Structure 1
Amino acid sequence: MTAPELTVLVVDDHAVVRRGVVAYLEALGDVAVAGEAADGQEALDQLERMAAHDGLPDVVLIDLLMPGMDGVAATAEIVRRHPGVRVVVLTSFGETERVHAALGNGASGYLLKDAGPAEVDAALRAAVRDEVFLDAAVTRRLTEELRRPRTGVGVLTAREREVLALVAEGRTNKEIAAHLTISERTARTHVSHLLTKLGLTSRTQAALLAVKEGITGPR
């Protein structure tokens, strides 16, 4: 009997879902389930124990929304602590923000839970080949996002975002200039440009938008 080609740690806070995923993976024949975890911290604890016995899995198949440490945070920690382990997200949520967060933290794949068996299998194998696999529905959303013209704070340059954050803190042009080590005239120009780009008419409107977008918060 040959050794399994792939070992997988399954992480999901719903026991029924977790068991269903485990049953499917075991049915593949050439995949071994290395273990199960109900949240990100439990997954990290298991990986530490596995590492101590030279038994790290090839892939961690993880949900995103879980109590305690969620999948996004856990993905970053798994990749940092165990760079040889690949992470594939299997979740019910496909919003582009979550996709960006997961991939930005090092995930090698992103699948929705309605993905077919072939897609899950392909994602696992792509991960161990250091390739990125995205669910077809997720890929469509990302493509649509790229095609849409940028709006809102997305149209601002990095410097304009910095200035917007300072405006939201109630800083004057002189104070912004001193903070960023630029001239007051340049600060005034940045404020004017960002107001124009955002279609706003006052610094107060800009401050409110900044708070809404999470660029800054009340202090």
Structure 2
Amino acid sequence: MLTHLLSLYPDLEPLAPDLAALQAQAPAVSVPAGTQLFAQGAPCQGFPLVLAGEVRVACHAEDGRSLELYRVRPGELCLVSSASLFRGLPLGAQGVSAQASTLLMITPTLFEEWLGVPAFRKLVLGLFAERMAELTSLVDAVAFQKLDQRLAAALLGRGQDLHLSHQTLADELGTVREIVTRLLRRFEHAGWLTLGREHIHILNSQALRAVAGGQASTAAHTTG
């Protein structure tokens, strides 16, 4: 397991003895898809290293809406967890396993000790730079792009047949299911896709690309 961990996180090589001891005391944990790993507003209980699977990190509003911030895959780090541990503040978002996942949790005390190791500190600071670029793009999309553009972009790059619910798309886009359903029906009326139960079949990717790029609108194809 240690060899696999270091293959994913090679910058942790100087901490190999600590990692070996940690694994002996608190082995990696495997969880099924849909498991809440940390809750928004709760104290941070540890810093997760993802060995397999994927963790979806999302921010939730009081009205029930959710906005996906990013996903943590093997070899990547969680910005929300590190920010919480850095500042000693509650977590700013929720983490849920998007698929069956295996994680090794670094305790807050150990995380603080490791910050004194140049390799780990460089790894975490590099994470901040990468994730901030992603979040800046997300803020730009939410603030300045129309929802039909963002929905069209979310549909692209997943293949011709998408097996996901309208609620899943709504959560990714930070809106409500009813609006996503309305827009998907407009896309269907325009002849760009067909809808089924938790299934979307793409018929015209080029048209969706035009909408995603702000070069076309569904308004010309439907009255509502």
TM-score by length of 2: 0.33
Q: Which structure features the higher share of strand residues?
A: 2
Q: Which structure features the higher share of helix residues?
A: 1
TM-score by length of 1: 0.34
The structure with higher relative contact order (CA 8 Å, sep 6+) is 2
Structure (1 or 2) with the larger CA radius of gyration? 1
